């Protein structure tokens, strides 16, 4: 089961900032928050990840609350091509191998309109 | 700088036939992950492999499914005696290592079982 909760859908006007929230209240101290998006059934595209500090790259910014129980992905100037399903993921560790797999929930369907 | 490559992109099989899905990881990546996405659902982890080793197969169905990542060549996901319920998109991801390393996804193979 996914360890995150996201709204099922959001709308955003083109050119405006899109702020996508995610709750991960059971996150452990060493678990990272990852964001991926999937555009129309293509392969998931990596966006950004973080542990406890805010992160920024050429695609987006990630704001993680001080208690790490929630985070927000910010697309500063949304375009029509940002219409996609956005997945917030907490990597889940394996007791046997230490391997941490990605557990995808249902994500947030972001619709960017002209 | 080629990304993760998967082929075929589309595969049609009749019930009872075998399906072979291939994945070539990104250059420099020696860790491969397979995920399955059923229609209108999120991705589900299936198996994690390193060269010549299966590390975690906790998401693989117990029967008919197998995966390998030989020393030379692509990773192969094999589905024997396919059934209609196997119809899905199968995605492969790769990473340089598993320790907090980002997984990059391929475009997927869409399997349709008639």
| pLDDT tens-digit readout, A13-58 | 999 999 999 999 988 887 889 999 999 879 999 999 998 889 999 9
**What's the pLDDT tens digit per position in A88-102?**
998 765 555 567 778
The β-bridge relationship of strands B65-68 and B109-113 is unpaired
From the number of C-beta atoms within 10 Å of its C-beta (0-12, 13-18, 19+), residue A34 rates as buried
Cβ pair B89:A32 closer than 8 A: no
The β-bridge relationship of strands B10-13 and A100-101 is unpaired
Tokens matching residue B95: 């990473």
Cβ pair A101:B91 closer than 8 A: no
| Distance of alpha carbon B63 from alpha carbon B80, whole angstroms | 9
Q: Is residue B58 within 8 angstroms of chain A, CB to CB?
A: yes
Q: Is residue B25 within 8 angstroms of chain A, CB to CB?
A: no
pLDDT above 90 (res B14):
yes
Q: Is residue B41 within 8 angstroms of chain A, CB to CB?
A: yes
Q: Is residue B106 within 8 angstroms of chain A, CB to CB?
A: yes
| Distance of alpha carbon A78 from alpha carbon B14, whole angstroms | 43
Segment among A110-114, B50-54, B88-92 with least mean pLDDT: B50-54
| Distance of alpha carbon A27 from alpha carbon A37, whole angstroms | 21
Cβ pair B100:A100 closer than 8 A: yes
Question: For residue A35, what is the nearest residue in chain B, using CA coordinates?
Answer: B102
Cβ pair B105:A46 closer than 8 A: yes
Averaged pLDDT for residues B30-53:
91
**Which pLDDT score, from 0 to 100, does residue A101 have?**
77
The β-bridge relationship of strands A70-75 and A18-23 is antiparallel
Tokens matching residue A111: 């619709």
Cβ pair B56:A99 closer than 8 A: yes
Q: Is residue A35 within 8 angstroms of chain B, CB to CB?
A: no
Q: Please give the distance of CA B85 from its chain centroid, rounded to a whole number.
A: 16
Cβ pair B102:A49 closer than 8 A: yes
**What's the pLDDT tens digit per position in B55-110?**
899 999 999 999 999 999 999 999 999 999 999 999 999 988 766 578 999 999 99
Angle in degrees, CA A61, B5, B11, rounded to 5: 120
Segment among A63-67, A79-83, B26-30 with least mean pLDDT: B26-30
Q: Is residue B10 within 8 angstroms of chain A, CB to CB?
A: no
CB-CB contact of A57 with A46 (8 Å): no
Tell me which residue of A75, A100, A88, A74 sits closest to A7, measured CA to CA.
A88
**Which pLDDT score, from 0 to 100, does residue A65 have?**
94
Q: Label residue B40 by pLDDT band (50, 70, 90).
A: confident
- In this complex, the residue of A32, A101, A107 whose CB is nearest that of residue B100 is A32
Tell me which residue of A103, A79, A109 sits closest to A14, measured CA to CA.
A79
pLDDT above 60 (res A80):
yes
Cβ pair B42:A104 closer than 8 A: yes
**Which pLDDT score, from 0 to 100, does residue B1 have?**
54
Cβ pair A87:B4 closer than 8 A: no
**Which pLDDT score, from 0 to 100, does residue B45 have?**
93
Q: Label residue A106 by pLDDT band (50, 70, 90).
A: confident
Rounded to a whole number, what is the distance in Å from the CA of B40 to chain A's nearest CA?
9
């Amino acid at each position: 089961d996914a360890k995150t909760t996201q709204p099922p859908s959001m709308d955003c006007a083109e050119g405006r900032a899109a702020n996508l929230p995610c709750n991960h209240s059971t996150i452990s101290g060493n678990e990272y928050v990852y964001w991926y998006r999937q555009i129309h059934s293509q392969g998931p595209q990596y966006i950004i990840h973080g542990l406890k500090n805010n992160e920024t790259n050429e695609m987006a910014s990630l704001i993680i609350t001080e208690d790490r129980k929630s985070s927000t992905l910010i697309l500063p100037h949304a375009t029509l091509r940002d219409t996609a399903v956005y997945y917030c993921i907490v990597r889940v560790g394996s007791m046997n191998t230490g391997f941490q797999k990605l557990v995808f929930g249902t994500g947030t369907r972001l619709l960017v309109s002209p | 700088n080629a990304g993760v490559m998967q082929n075929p992109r589309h595969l049609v099989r009749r019930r009872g036939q075998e399906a072979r899905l291939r994945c070539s990881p990104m250059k420099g990546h020696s860790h491969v992950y397979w995920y399955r996405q059923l229609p209108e659902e999120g991705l589900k982890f299936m198996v994690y492999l390193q060269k010549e080793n299966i590390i975690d197969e906790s998401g693989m169905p117990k029967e008919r499914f197998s995966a390998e990542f030989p020393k030379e060549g692509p990773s192969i996901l094999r589905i024997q005696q396919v059934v209609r319920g196997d119809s899905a998109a199968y995605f492969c991801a790769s990473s340089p290592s598993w320790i907090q390393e980002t997984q990059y996804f391929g475009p997927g193979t869409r399997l349709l079982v008639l």
